Amino acid sequence: MQIIDTHQHFWKYDPEQHGWINDDMSALRKDFLPADLHPILQRNAVAGCIAVQADQTEAETNWLLELATANPFILGVVGWADLRAGNIRERLDHFKSFPAIKGFRHILQGEDPGFMLQPGFMNGISALKEFGFTYDILVYPGHLPSLLQLVKANPDQPFVIDHLAKPFIRHKQSEPWKKDLAALGAFNNVFCKISGMATEANWENWTEADMKPYLDAAVEIFGTGRLMFGSDWPVCLPASSYERWLLTVRNYFSAFSSEDQDKVLNRNAIIFYHL
Domains in the chain, CATH or no CATH each? 4-273 (3.20.20.140)
pTM of the predicted structure, to 2 decimals: 0.96
Is pLDDT of 81 > 90?
A: yes
pLDDT value at 135 more than 90? yes
What pLDDT shows up at residue 53?
98
Q: What is the pLDDT of residues 160-190, one digit of tens each?
A: 999 999 999 999 999 999 999 999 999 999 9
Strand ordering across the sheet containing 48-52: 4-8, 48-52, 74-79, 101-106, 134-137, 159-161, 190-194, 227-229
- Indicate the pLDDT class of residue 17, thresholds 50, 70 and 90: confident
The candidate with the shortest Cα–Cα distance to 165, out of 134, 132, 129, 190, is 190
What backbone phi and psi angles, to 5 degrees, belong to 105? -150, 145
Alpha helices in the chain (DSSP H): 34-43, 58-70, 88-95, 119-128, 144-153, 177-185, 197-200, 208-222, 242-253, 258-262, 268-273
**Cα 33 to Cα 11: distance, rounded to the nearest angstrom:** 6
